[in-house]
Structure 1
Amino acid sequence: MLKQRLSYILVVLGCLMGGAAEAQNPFITNQFTADPTARAFNGRVYVYPSHDIPAAPGRGRAGWFVMEDYHVFSSANLTDWTDHGVIVTQNKVPWVKPDSYSMWAPDCIERNGKYYFYFPTTPKDTTNGKGFTIGVAVADRPTGPFVPQPLPIKGVHGIDPNVLIDKDGQAYLYWSQDNIYGAKLKENMLELAAEPVTLGELPTKGLKEGPYVFERKGTYYLTYPHVANKTERLEYATSKSPLGPFTVKGVLMDESPTGCWTNHHSLLELNNQWYLFYHHNDLSPNFDKNRSVRIDSLFFEPDGSIRKVVPTLRGVGLSSAKQKIQLDRYSRLSASGTSIAFLDTANKFQGWKTVFANKQGWVQYNGVAFGKQPLKTVTLRATAAAGATVLIRLDGATGPVLGQVSVPKGGKWQEVKAPLSAFRPGTHSLFVASKTDSPVEIDWVRFE
């Protein structure tokens, strides 16, 4: 019980801290996040995820999803993320059942200068049946303040709302509840304009949920998580119409290799590059109901099919050499001699460390922006009980040597600075290796 309470306190403290998040996967590390919808508004990317918290006495159901509010995060470069805080919370929505802890996957869309935030949860009124309904909160800015409508959308029962505004201006709402449904929205974005349509051309076996629909070059893509075997994978179908009929085309991301039961996603095009936003349980490897959001690049083949996305730890965007570079979110790792571990297993929000067991170990981290002005020093946050020497190169194992850092022996973490022996402007990969057989652990690297 005490451990459970401490865990919840750590989550609350992480949420209150707000501020910046990281460029790597997961890109939000001060709290659990899932089901990310990414939207570009006025040249900035906003991510609207759901917010997992650990269950505690009086707070949700143990062993299940527990979600009481929504945050919004934004970035100008997909690298530096800002937490704008809570935008909607369960007990401040008039129609929501108090303390239901069921604020599941949301969406947000802009129309005529207003921002419409769609979210599913458990209603107080079950006259029209049990289960989830979907409501809307409206704001003048993408970060709020959002004002919830007094009632949920009439005629909609389910979860995972998603909105598409087509090229002709017609808006569509999609959602899931055993099947995936779609319907036209009225101009006010608050009511259905027609009866829902069941998108019935999809697989009939296994759970389908989390629809995300977008249009590209005249083709409408319906993407969705589907339990084809034991856990969800991301699949897609295409059509020439927003409401189908759709033809199943394939898988855009395979099942989690570590058994995370859910995945939920969105796609975003930014500066002629597509990105897949999704989630995994990186910060809670032993409990897949506390998840964390990720980003990876996505590509289309010439025929319009989606190339399968292979999840990465490195994620997207450039990392500034002047900021703390988390080597544990590597691009490549040696087959032996190197491993990744949590800094503190009692507080996983502190992140990971790279452990070099011997001089066979190395790690490569791509996409480091060194800029044009020469940098003179490198700093490691490291620990090595017997002392160690770390070699830093650019662009691989045979690339130019940037510097060499001697980590003094000792059992505590220390920041060790050393001069650079060379400097190369521009963007490079960073290659870090141990030169000694005694173990050394590295938290981060930074250049000045």
Structure 2
Amino acid sequence: MKKYTFLFYFCFICIYTFGQNPLVTHMYTADPTARVFDDKLYIYPSHDIVPKPGGKAPKFCMPDYHIFSLENGSTWKDHGRILDQNEVPWGKKDAYGMWAPDCIKKGDTYYYYYPAPPEDGSFFRRIGVGTSKSPTGPFKWEENYIAGVKGIDPGLLLDDNGKAYLYYGGGDDIYVVQLKDNMKEITGKPIKVEGLPSSYKEGSFPFKHNGVYYYTFAHVFPEEGYTIGYATSDSPLGPFTYKGKIMDNIGNGTNHHSIVKYKGKWILFYHWWEISGYSRLRSMRADYMEFKEDGTIKKVKPTLRGIAKPTVGDTIQIDRYNEIREAKTAFVGGNEPKGWMVCDTRMMGYVKFNDVDFGKGTAKSIAARFSCGQRNGSFEVRLDNPKGKLIADFPLHFTGGWNTWETMEAKIKEKVTGVHNIVVVFKSLWGADKIANLNWLILKD
């Protein structure tokens, strides 16, 4: 596996991670299944890693599962590993095949479904289940996989009448079957989901909206690659009518998704691989999604900004701007974690970041992560527009170079409450084309 040795797998100990796109950067995450439980947002993704040099591993090297929850407005908490491949009671050891999972709540119990290569070799993947009284576990794993189910990518639908359905499979055919009340067995023989377009399909995610059943899935067009498509029906068992694409192919990589309604807005979760630069090391992302009046879905375009509304204590990744002038963004360098930065900042250039929640005004200061290769100038934080109220001022100093980063803190000049756009304005000598590089801001109380 020498071809993998050029890859740098960035991983450090981190409990909280950032909320703009990609959602986390301390590890590689893919196939994000998002769920809202008791008004709180959770993600159940798979986990990509770099194969060990010289070791035997599949094209996708996926050893375990983590769970994330949204804290504050844009901070994702990593609850740690909940299941390792070698802890699967019926699973093949060291197979690195822990693909896309799902989790659903029925009554007071959470059911976590996952695919894994079986030790008995009965099929490519079988699907297992675990139960917990908490959305973050620990889970008690069933000793055997679900009998009668062979395939990948479990997607669960709990209907209004309490009946649950399992969708699964990858290839030309996708299957659906009703689950028994215990959520661990099927009621009959799985049936093929009818009405879907031809070619390869996977990544089942069903949901119900305004009385209509939506079946969404990853669909590979021969001329385009992975896209996210959807179909609708008046029955959870179909047949379905194909309606089109929710997202076009991005970066010639895979895509796998989920869709939830959270705080009144619909969100599409998906993955991309722009952090690693390698399509087998992916990072989960999220963007808002909208329905048209006729129930069809507007196509979603990937953004860096994503769904975040940062508040006090959250990281504001300023390069996920809403507006920029006389500045650019680029991949961060030096002693920084992977991500992007605002750079090539000029006199009176600015970057605007919308919808920052100052809450009840508890923030007393702003921390800024920056680098600087010169000694003249400053950057200001203003409210709402480039000439708005000045709330913080950061005088610049030489940090050791444009790739040497420091954190500086400035007091907030007066109490700020509620939601505001913030604008960072760069100032220096006229003609300067590099004033400072800026990564993030944090409101601190």
TM over 0.5: yes
Q: Per the alignment, do residues 165 and 300 of structure 1 end up closer, same or farther by CA in structure 2, a change over 3 Å counting?
A: same
Query: Which residue does the alignment assign to 2:149?
Result: 156
Identity level (%): 39
Which of residues 360, 363, 366 is equivalent to 2:351?
363
Compute the displacement of 1:141 (Å).
1.9
Unaligned segments of structure 2, at least 5 residues? none
Distance 1:210 1:310, change over 3 A: same
Aligned partner of 1:94 in structure 2 is 89
2:188 aligned with 1:194, yes or no? yes
Q: List alignment gaps of at least 5 residues for structure 1.
A: none
Q: Could you tell me which amino acid in structure 1 is paired with residue 271 of structure 2? A: H
Distance in structure 2 (CA, Å) of the matches to 1:143 and 1:157:
26
SS at match of 2:219: strand
CA drift of 1:241 comes to: 0.4
| 1:341 matched to 2:341 | no
Task: Give the direction of change, closer, same or farther, for the CA distance of 1:78–1:35 in structure 2 (3 Å limit).
Answer: farther
Q: SS of the counterpart of 1:371?
A: coil
State the distance in 1 between where 2:287 and 2:165 align.
27
Distance of 1:401 and 1:348 partners within structure 2: 28
Matched, 1:373 2:355: no
CA deviation profile, 1:398-420 (whole Å, cap 9, x unmatched): 43333442211342433334455
SS in structure 2 at match of 1:364: strand
Match of 1:44 in 2: 40
| Partner SS for 2:153 | strand
Distance 1:111 1:375 in 2: 40
Asked whether the equivalents of residues 253 and 273 of structure 2 are also in contact (C-alpha less than 8 Å), the reply is no
Question: Would you say the 8 A contact 1:386–1:409 is kept in 2?
Answer: yes
Q: Does the CA-based 8 Å contact 1:313-1:331 persist in structure 2? A: no
Cα distance in 2 for partners of 1:71, 1:195 equals 32
Q: Equivalents in 2 of 1:243, 1:3: separation in Å?
A: 43
TM-score (norm 2): 0.90
Paired amino acid for 1:390? F
Give the AA of the match of 1:352.
W
Q: How does 1:360-439 map to 2 (within 5 A)?
A: 361-373=349-361, 377-387=365-375, 388-411=377-400, 412-418=404-410, 420=412, 424-436=416-428, 437-439=432-434
Residue in structure 2 matching 1:242, options 236, 250, 257: 236
Partner of 1:277: 269
CA distance in 1, matches of 2:262, 2:113: 23
- For residue 303 of structure 2, the aligned residue among 303, 309, 312 is 312
Q: Contact between 2:125 and 2:152, CA under 8 Å: does it hold in 1?
A: yes
| Secondary structure in structure 2 of the residue aligned to 1:91 | helix
2:225 alignment partner in structure 1: 231
**Counterpart amino acid of residue 272 in structure 1:** G
Task: State the 1:433 CA deviation.
Answer: 3.0
Cα 1:338–1:184 change in 2 (3 A) is same
Aligned-pair CA distance for 1:59: 5.1
Q: Verify the 8 A CA contact 2:63 2:98 in the aligned structure 1.
A: yes
* Cα distance in 2 for residues equivalent to 1:82 and 1:410: 31
**Structure 1 position 239, deviation (Å):** 0.4
Contact in 2 for aligned 1:34/1:51 (Cα 8 Å): yes
Shift, 1:76, TM fit = 4.8
Partner of 2:64 in structure 1?
A: 69
Which of 271, 291, 300 matches 2:282? 291
Query: Structure 2 vs 1, CA of residues 446 and 306 (structure 1 numbering), >3 Å: closer, same or farther?
Result: same
Decide which moves more: 109-118 or 366-375. 366-375
Q: Can you list the C-alpha shifts for 1:204-254, whole angstroms capped at 9, x where unaligned?
A: 1x3211010011111000011112233211111100000111111121112
Residue type of the alignment partner of 1:154: A
2: CA distance, partners of 1:287 / 1:250: 28
| Residue in 2 that maps onto 1:354 | 342
- Tell me if structure 2 keeps the 8 A contact 1:327–1:363: yes
Contact 2:392–2:412 (CA under 8 A) maintained in structure 1: yes
For residues 447 and 48 of structure 1, do their structure 2 counterparts lie closer, same or farther at Cα, with a shift above 3 Å needed?
Answer: closer
2:255 alignment partner, SS class: coil
- Find the residue that maps to 2:34 and give its secondary structure: strand
Can you list the C-alpha shifts for 1:421-447, whole angstroms capped at 9, x where unaligned? 565432111122322314111122234
The Cα of 1:350 is off from its aligned counterpart by 4.3
Q: Secondary structure of the residue that 2:41 maps to in structure 1?
A: strand
- Deviation larger for 320-329 or 222-231: 320-329
Contact 1:283 1:348 in 2 (8 A): no
d(CA) in 2 for partners of 1:196, 1:90: 26
- Residues 1:165 and 2:158 aligned together: yes
What is the RMSD of the two structures over their aligned residues, measured on CA atoms? 2.5
Report which stretch shifted further, 436-445 or 114-123.
Answer: 436-445
Instruction: Determine helix, strand or coil for the equivalent of 1:155.
Output: coil
Matches for 1:25-36 after TM superposition, within 5 Å: 25-36=21-32
Q: Which amino acid aligns with 1:351?
A: G
Give, in whole Å, the separation in 2 of the partners of 1:263 and 1:6.
21
Between the two proteins, the alignment pairs up a number of residues equal to: 433
Which of 140, 143, 146 aligns to 2:136? It is 143
Residue by residue over 1:378-405, the C-alpha shift from the partner in whole angstroms, topping out at 9 and shown as x without a partner, is 4432222122322332223343333442
2:207 to 214, 226, 245: 214
Task: For 1:308 and 1:136, locate their aligned partners in 2 and report how far apart those are by CA, in whole Å.
Answer: 33
Counterpart position of 1:183: 177
Give a deviation string over 1:135-178, Cα, whole Å, max 9, x none: 11222222222122222112211110011111111111001221
